[in-house]
Structure formats: C-alpha cells, structure tokens
C-alpha cells in the first residue's frame, strides 16, 4: 500500500490507454486492463509493477471480473478510465450481426457496466472520477454506413447525463472526445488513414493531459485541441442540409475511428 490514489484503465496497452497509464503512473497506483496478457504484463512491469488484470470486455465474464475489482473496498478505485473500444472497417450493409454486437458490447455495454460498478462506492465515499473515452465522430452522423459514431454518441450522452446526476455527490464523470489520434487503433481495424492530412492528427499524450485538465475543471465533455473544438461547434450549429452534403462527400471513409 502506497497511500496514493488508484486508477483503473481499460485498453491500457496501446494508444490513448497507454498514454493514460504513463501519465497517471506519476500520481496513482495503477490497475491495467487489456485482453493480451503478455502485453499487459509488459506494460505493468514498465510502469513499476502496476496491477495487471487480463480481461476481454466484449464478454460478460470479462466485464464481471473488472466490475468486481471496481467494487472492491480494500483498495478502492479513485479514477476509472473506460478507454477500450473498437471500430469496424465495414459498411453496415456488408456487416454481420455478430460483428455489430461485438462493437456494441465493447463500446457501449462495457462502458455502462463498469461505470455502474464504480459509482456506488464512489458516491458513498463522496469522491471519485470517471473518464469515458468517446470521439468527436459521435456529435453527428458524418460517416455514412459506419455504426462507430453511433456508439460514441451514446458514450458522450451517457457520460453527460451521469455526470450531472453524481456531481452533487462529489463524483465527476466526463466524456473525452478526441479527433484523429496517432495510435494503433486504425491499423488494428484495417482502416487506411494514409490520405488524412498530417495537421489533423493529435498526439495521444497531449489528448490525455488535456482531458485530465478538463476533468479537474469539472467539464462534462472534453474536446482536445482547438481545431476539433471548431469541428464540434460547426457540427452542432450548422444547418442539417449542409451536414448531410458534407456527410455524403465522406462516404468513402467508412469505419474511421479515432481512439
């Protein structure tokens, strides 16, 4: 026992999850969650012996395992980062029920299950934080045929609603909504990002630092970087007809995600 607060991070071996782990290791004891046991244990060793919890959050058994750790009272979790997520490089018309349900189990159900597992202990203590990693793509239907943005729209709305509910109890819940971020995410989904302009890319470490800063400020939604703040403002306020025309022009970019 070090006396430091405890942070639990899902999807902790790569991308934004790994960036969260490296940043929070400076101030927290860590519980790292991922499917790949070897990579997870290597990350835990790199960070000075963090607790490694192998789990596949697309399965009920994996969610049950992590939910039990979140409900534990001997070393309570002070900060939960729901980062694990996936995209499909497939139009909905060419997809399958199995693949779509897999996406929903990981992007939506796991976020709900783990948030609900963490909140009772946090609200009872009168403190605690949850960051749900979402996406700027969730602010509008801008990727025709991709169901990834719909899953992230749920995460953002859920986080805002839950954050308002528990704020009077001393607990903060925030949706972190990055744009295109340099991670393994697109390669693992088989998505070709070679034509994306370099200026659109964000650094994962900067995304994490901006998100933690916005959490401390008490924001319900964090959109890192000024250019993506402008994108979200435009999406929220532009006429729907204009958004649909822009959306049609991006039809070839099915399945793009950003974390």
Q: Which residue of the set 20, 139, 148, 228 is catalytic? A: 148
- Its sign, for the CA torsion 34, 40, 45, 47, is negative
Rg of the chain's alpha carbons, rounded to an integer? 18
Listed as own residue / partner, the contacts of 160-167 with beta carbons closer than 8 Å and 24 or more positions apart are 160/220, 160/221, 162/115, 162/119, 162/130, 163/220, 164/220, 166/119, 166/122, 166/123, 167/218
Residues whose CB falls within 8 Å of the CB of residue 63, separated by 6 or more in sequence, listed in order: 55, 57, 109, 110, 113, 114
Token pair listed for 190? 């088989």
Token pair listed for 84? 């694990």
What are 86's strand-pairing partners?
Answer: none
- In whole angstroms, give the CA distance from residue 198 to residue 223: 19
148 belongs to the catalytic site: yes
* Structural contact between residues 211 and 220, judged by C-beta atoms closer than 8 angstroms: no
Residues noted as catalytic: 148
């Amino acid at each position: 026992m070090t006396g430091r607060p405890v942070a639990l991070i899902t999807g902790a071996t790569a991308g934004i999850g790994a960036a969260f782990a490296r940043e929070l290791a400076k101030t927290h004891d860590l519980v790292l969650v991922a499917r790949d046991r070897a990579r997870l244990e290597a990350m835990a060793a790199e960070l000075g012996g963090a607790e490694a919890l192998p789990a596949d959050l697309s399965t009920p058994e994996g969610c049950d395992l992590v939910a039990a750790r979140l409900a534990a009272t001997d070393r309570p979790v002070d900060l939960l980062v729901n980062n694990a997520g996936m995209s499909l490089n497939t139009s909905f018309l060419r997809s399958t029920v199995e693949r779509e349900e897999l996406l929903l189990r990981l992007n939506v159900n796991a976020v709900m299950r783990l948030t609900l597992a963490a909140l009772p202990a946090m609200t009872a203590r009168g403190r605690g934080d949850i960051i749900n990693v979402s996406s700027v793509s969730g602010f509008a239907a801008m990727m025709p045929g991709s169901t990834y943005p719909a899953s992230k729209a749920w995460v953002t709305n859920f986080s805002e609603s839950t954050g308002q509910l528990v704020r009077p109890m001393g607990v903060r819940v925030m949706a972190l909504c990055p744009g295109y971020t340099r991670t393994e995410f697109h390669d693992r989904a088989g998505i070709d990002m070679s034509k994306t302009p370099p200026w659109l890319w964000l650094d994962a470490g900067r995304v994490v630092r901006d998100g933690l800063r916005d959490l401390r400020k008490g924001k319900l939604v964090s959109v890192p970087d000024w250019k993506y703040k402008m994108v979200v403002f435009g999406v929220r306020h532009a006429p729907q007809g204009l958004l649909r025309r822009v959306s049609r022009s991006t039809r070839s970019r099915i399945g793009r995600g950003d974390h």
